[in-house]
Amino acid sequence: MEQTWRWFGPEDRVTLAAARQAGATGIVTALHHIPYGTVWSPEEIETRKAEIASPGFGLTWSVVESLPVHEQVKIGEGDLEPIFANYRQSLRNLAAAGLRTVCYNFMPVLDWTRTQLDAPVPGGATALRFNLHEYVAFDWLILERPGAEEGHSDAVLARARAWHDAASEDDKKRLLANIMAGLPGAYDRYDVPGLRTMLARYRGMAPDTLRANLKRFLEAVIPTAAEVGINLCIHPDDPPRPLFGLPRIVSTGEDLAAILAMVDNPANGVTLCSGSLGAHPDNDVPALARRFADRIWFAHLRNVRKDPDGSFMEAEHLGGDTDMVALVDALLGEEARRRKAGWTHWQIPMRPDHGHEILYDIGRGSHPGYPAIGRLRGLAELRGVMTALEAVKPYG
């Protein structure tokens, strides 16, 4: 697999030099400063390519993560054709610049969501964590969303109430900031009233309505992606469960199968995120990799350890609930199939995702989940798994 590294642009405190020193050859990035729904111009794309190439480290822009989908598309409101047209033009411009893989998500309002960004790990390191009782405390007692307490056990509600009653105003502000932290780059952040207003735009939306809006988007853009040689790959929900009353439609194997059937074209593909899918108790991630192998165009490799109540924590890359060796084996097997079939572009780009904050990462202020040394460790461990498997298995 092509070893890649997420970089948030020139303002990222983790530099391109760090990516190269970690052993990556490809960069995963986006034009975060461009508003949603606006065309990515050839000039902006070439500027980013030059920023990656100019240090002379041998790095290339390998994957676009992400070309965002405008919120109007997810809601299905207004005249969407101009937004679709701009998205298609951005795809054409990216293809003209040599880009072939575009990751995107269809999560309403929020991207990945955690309640704690500095959960302690033995030895003084920290990790990202989703504590169900803190999420419920925010949704039920701070956001005061009607019906937020429904579907949760008495034990979780009691813990949520206890957390809320003991929390200071700073604790509550920190929880809001943590929940917003999954929105990288120049994305909107919301205060509590602003989040209430945004959620109101989705009030009463059923999962089937969100699926219909995704299908409309795919029908509008996949033919262009296929024409210009770009593979679009949807990222799973993170976490894979409804949040704040919002529907989630990219959480299970059946969800992925339904999405790929909406527009049955190879350009309509999947980002295999082992952490997002792995947080769902019913998902066998290596089995999903084998099931959807021919439509996986990008992989996020990370691990989580789940708690019985639905909470989870980012684990070491090889130490969580997902059998990472079996998952890497499935992806290497698919690469071998593509190579034997004569594909020119047979490699699956992968990146280590959501590393622990360790050693000199601590206190450095990198994007949450994206420290230098924690990801270096993850990439090294994954590289070791790949090297060992390739030494003993006849992938050909």
Residue 69 scores a pLDDT above 60: yes
Residue 235 catalytic?
yes
Residue 118 maps to a domain: no
Residue 281 maps to a domain: yes
Region 190-218: what's the mean pLDDT? Answer: 94
Whether residues 32 and 142 fall in one domain? no
CATH code of 104's domain? 3.20.20.150
Residue 133 catalytic?
no
Residue 204 scores a pLDDT above 80: yes
- Beta-carbon contacts of residue 103 (< 8 Å; ≥ 6 apart): 28, 63, 64, 65, 66, 233, 234, 235, 271, 298
Q: How many other β-carbons are positioned within 10 Å of the β-carbon of residue 301?
A: 27
Number of structural domains found in the chain: 2
Where among 183, 199, 215 does a domain terminate?
199
pTM given for the model: 0.95
Whether residues 140 and 231 fall in one domain? no
Residue 396 scores a pLDDT above 80: no
Report the pLDDT value the prediction gives residue 55, as an integer from 0 to 100.
Answer: 87
What phi and psi, each to the nearest 5 degrees, are found at residue 198?
A: -65, -45
The pLDDT tens digits of the residues spanning 246-273 come to 999 999 999 999 999 999 999 999 999 9
* Residue 221 · residue 84 · CB < 8 Å: yes
235, 280, 317, 356: which one is catalytic?
235
Residue 35 maps to a domain: yes
Residue 170 catalytic?
no
Region 325-330: what's the mean pLDDT? Answer: 98
Whether residues 188 and 241 fall in one domain? no
Whether residues 219 and 237 fall in one domain? yes
The pLDDT tens digits of the residues spanning 114-143 come to 999 999 999 999 999 999 999 999 999 999
133, 354, 356, 361: which one is catalytic?
354
Where among 184, 199, 214 does a domain terminate?
199
pLDDT category, 195, cuts 50, 70, 90? very high
The full length of the chain comes to 396
Where among 166, 199, 232 does a domain terminate?
199
12, 323, 353, 361: which one is catalytic?
353
Residue 184 scores a pLDDT above 70: no
Residue 121 maps to a domain: no
152, 300, 317, 356: which one is catalytic?
300
Categorise residue 120: left if φ over 0, alpha if ψ from -120 to 50, beta otherwise: beta
The pLDDT tens digits of the residues spanning 157-179 come to 999 999 999 999 999 999 999 99
Residue 120 maps to a domain: no
Residue 370 catalytic?
yes
> By residue range, what is the domain housing residue 241?
2-113+201-392
Whether residues 88 and 207 fall in one domain? yes
